[in-house]
Amino acid sequence: MIDEALLHCAGIGPKRLARLHARGIRTWGDVLARPDCLPGTLGGPLVEECRRCLAALAAGEIRYFTDRFTSCDKWRILSHYIDQASYFDIETDGLEQASSITVISCWHRGRLHTFVEHENLDAFLGLLDDVQLLVSFNGGSFDVPRVLDTFHVPELPCPHLDMRWTCYHRGLTGGLKEISRSVGIDRPADLEGADGELAVRLWAAWRSSQDASARELLIRYCASDVLLLRMLAQQQAGRADPCPEAAWDELPAAPAARWDRSTTTTSPVAEQSDGPAPRTTTFGQAFDVLFGSGSPQRLRARRHRTVG
């Protein structure tokens, strides 16, 4: 499949591609085997590009394809390299483009890895050095720029594929959760309705009042998006798990407290007759005392000085 990607070649658009197909030329190998059937002056450049593609394929140079393929052909990369793919998602302390990363979850080499600001966030860079193909949803517009800004690096050390566009070219539009539901993949019941706004509130509660249940739910929520992404990728590559519910066994356990997003409050799942009252933190109060002296801005400044 990957060797049928020709639209990135100079001078090849949908109409010329259709003409090539009509002549029995569909793959890079076909181009090299039948140069006499290629259109006029495009023959030479097309042959050279197909040679480069075959060389990159033999060498496992995935970045060559992520950098060059048109968005409508990038699904071919995912299908061919599905076994080498790692999946990631981030949460931030706000909903704006300049918001700081709070949590990163990554499925890599068969297990989930979690990175939390003020704890081990910098370790994500070390993991990236071991990634062969990094897959995200809308990461090209949001997650990757936030990673580059946070760690003050000019580019990722690994090739990246944004599944928002592989979905789009299959007629699947909307957010990750909406698309997943449309193809029959549902999140665990305790995470239904959880979204980016809730993630911001959970981080605020954790940082302001050390609400451990908020931290646990935030990590579980982020990890669930990564597993959704992995299941969706496998489905698109024709490798869907016959028992997708089993994938949720990889999630961190649900916290022992229920989250009330309307009041930013945690409360015990079961009623208790005694003990301290549940902790309550309003959304506004949480942001008033969000970070203190250990702010992400100061941490990034330290990173910047280290890099410089």
- Show Cβ contacts of residue 52 under 8 Å, excluding neighbours closer than 6 positions: 64
Provide the residue ranges of all domains of the chain, joining segments of one domain with +.
2-59, 81-260
For 86, other C-beta atoms within 10 Å of its C-beta total 21
H helices of the chain, where? 14-22, 28-33, 43-59, 62-68, 75-80, 123-128, 143-151, 163-168, 176-182, 196-209, 212-236, 283-288, 296-307
Question: Given pLDDT bands bounded at 50, 70 and 90, which one contains residue 266?
Answer: low
> How far is Cα of residue 226 from the mean position of the Cα atoms in its chain?
7
DSSP symbol at 109 = T
- Show Cβ contacts of residue 173 under 8 Å, excluding neighbours closer than 6 positions: 167, 179
- Show Cβ contacts of residue 248 under 8 Å, excluding neighbours closer than 6 positions: 188, 224, 227
Higher pLDDT, residue 83 or 294? 83
Q: What is the mean pLDDT of residues 145-167?
A: 97
DSSP symbol at 253 = P
Question: Given pLDDT bands bounded at 50, 70 and 90, which one contains residue 262?
Answer: low
Give the pLDDT of residue 43.
Answer: 86
Question: Given pLDDT bands bounded at 50, 70 and 90, which one contains residue 257?
Answer: confident
Residue 295 confidence (pLDDT) above 90 = no
For 37, other C-beta atoms within 10 Å of its C-beta total 14
Structure tokens belonging to residue 74: 């990038």
Pairing outcome for strands 133-136 and 160-162: parallel
> For residues 101 and 303, what is the distance between their CA atoms, to the nearest angstrom?
14
What CATH homologous superfamily does 81-260 map to?
A: Ribonuclease H-like superfamily/Ribonuclease H (3.30.420.10)
Over the chain, what is the mean pLDDT?
Answer: 86
pLDDT 10s digits, 157-212: 999 999 999 999 999 999 999 999 999 999 999 999 999 999 999 999 999 999 99
Question: Given pLDDT bands bounded at 50, 70 and 90, which one contains residue 268?
Answer: very low
> For residues 182 and 240, what is the distance between their CA atoms, to the nearest angstrom?
15
Strand ordering across the sheet containing 133-136:
111-116, 101-108, 85-92, 133-136, 160-162
Q: Which residue matches tokens 């049928």?
A: 4
Nearest to 202, CA basis, from 184, 220, 176, 224: 220
Question: Given pLDDT bands bounded at 50, 70 and 90, which one contains residue 240?
Answer: confident
Burial of 161 (0-12, 13-18, 19+ CB in 10 A): buried
> What would the CATH number be for the domain defined by 2-59?
1.10.150.20
Give the pLDDT of residue 298.
Answer: 40
> For residues 207 and 112, what is the distance between their CA atoms, to the nearest angstrom?
23
Q: Which residue matches tokens 């800004």?
A: 149
Residue 106 confidence (pLDDT) above 60 = yes
> For residues 46 and 30, what is the distance between their CA atoms, to the nearest angstrom?
11
Structure tokens belonging to residue 91: 């949460």
Question: Given pLDDT bands bounded at 50, 70 and 90, which one contains residue 267?
Answer: low
